[in-house]
Amino acid sequence: MTNYVGRFIPNYSTITEPLRRLTKQDSKWEWTSEQQESFDKLKNELVADRVMSYFDPNKETMLIVDASPVGLAGLLTQNGKIIAYASRSLTDVETRYSQTEKEALAIVWAIEHFHLYLYGQSFTLVSDHQPLETIFNSPKAKTPARIERWRLRLQGYNFKVQYKPGKVNAADYLSRHPTPNTSIACKHSQLAEEYVRYLTDNAVPKAMTLNEIADSTTKR
C-alpha cells in the first residue's frame, strides 16, 4: 500500500528499512521499538499532504478497488496521489458470495461511495479480478443475475475497468482490514447532505466571544 505512494514519501527506503529487514529469508522475526517507529511513520505519511491531495475535476481520475473474504476497499486517486480512502466490512450474506461477485460488489460499492467525485465524468477503475474487465467493458457479456443488476445500477457512470495483478493493488490492505461497518453504502442524497453538513461545520467562520475580543484588545 505504501509502495503505491512511495515516490511522494521523503527517505522512503530509510523509513522502511527496519520492516524490509524482517522479510529476508534468514532474518529472525523481532518486532522492536525500531520496527514500531517505522510502522508509525508510514501510517502518518499515508495521510500527509505530500501523499494526499484535493480532488481536481480537470485531472484524470482512477478508482482502485479490491475485495477480500472480510471486506471491500476503494482508493480514489489522481496522478498517483490519494484523494480518499474507503473500506467497509462484508455482511454475513455477502461473505457467502463467490469471489467474482465480491469483486463486482467492490466496484458497485466504491463507485456509489465516491458518487460526488465520479458522477458526470469519465474515470478508470482498476481491479485485480480479470474476469470483471470483460464483464463490465462488454455490453454483450453474459453475467449472473446479481451482477447484471449491479451493472444496470452503474449505467449512469462513464468508466472502463482495467485489470492489474493483485500484488500491485494498493487497495489490498484496506480490504483485509476494513472499518468495522457492515452497513450498505449510503444513498446519494445522504452523501450530499453529509457533504453540505461538513461544509457548514467547517467553512462557516465562528463568531468571536467577548472574552476573546477583550484578550486580543489588551495584547495590542
Task: Name the residue among 83, 73, 79 with its Cα closest to residue 107.
Answer: 73
Could you list the residue range(s) of the whole structural domain that residue 122 is in? 61-200
Dihedral sign from CA coordinates of 164, 123, 187, 138 = negative
- List b or e across 149-184, with b for residues whose CB sees 16 or more CB atoms inside 10 angstroms: ebbeebeebebebeeeeeeebbbbbbbeebeeeeee
Please check whether residues 37 and 66 belong to one and the same domain: no
Q: 190 falls in which pLDDT band (50, 70, 90)? A: low
- The answer as to whether 158 is a domain residue is yes
CA distance 103 to 65: 8
Cell of 187: 444513498
Q: How many domains does the chain have?
A: 2
Please check whether residues 85 and 171 belong to one and the same domain: yes
Q: Is the pLDDT of residue 187 over 60?
A: no
Please check whether residues 19 and 109 belong to one and the same domain: no
Please check whether residues 117 and 152 belong to one and the same domain: yes
Mean pLDDT, residues 29-36: 95
3: amino acid identity, one letter: N
- The answer as to whether 19 is a domain residue is yes
User: Pairing relation of β-strands 71-78 and 81-89?
Assistant: antiparallel
pLDDT tens for each residue of 117-167: 999 999 999 999 999 999 999 888 888 899 999 999 999 999 999 999 988
Q: What is the CATH number of the domain that holds 183?
A: 3.30.420.10
- The answer as to whether 55 is a domain residue is no
Q: 204 falls in which pLDDT band (50, 70, 90)? A: low
Please check whether residues 78 and 172 belong to one and the same domain: yes
Q: Is the pLDDT of residue 6 over 60?
A: yes
Please check whether residues 38 and 79 belong to one and the same domain: no
- The answer as to whether 56 is a domain residue is no
Q: Is the pLDDT of residue 91 over 70?
A: yes
Please check whether residues 76 and 152 belong to one and the same domain: yes
Please check whether residues 125 and 25 belong to one and the same domain: no
pLDDT tens for each residue of 35-75: 999 999 999 999 999 999 999 999 999 999 999 999 999 99
In percent, how much of the chain has pLDDT > 70? 92
Q: 102 falls in which pLDDT band (50, 70, 90)? A: very high
Cell of 28: 529472525
- The answer as to whether 142 is a domain residue is yes
Please check whether residues 185 and 162 belong to one and the same domain: yes
User: What's residue 185's pLDDT?
Assistant: 47
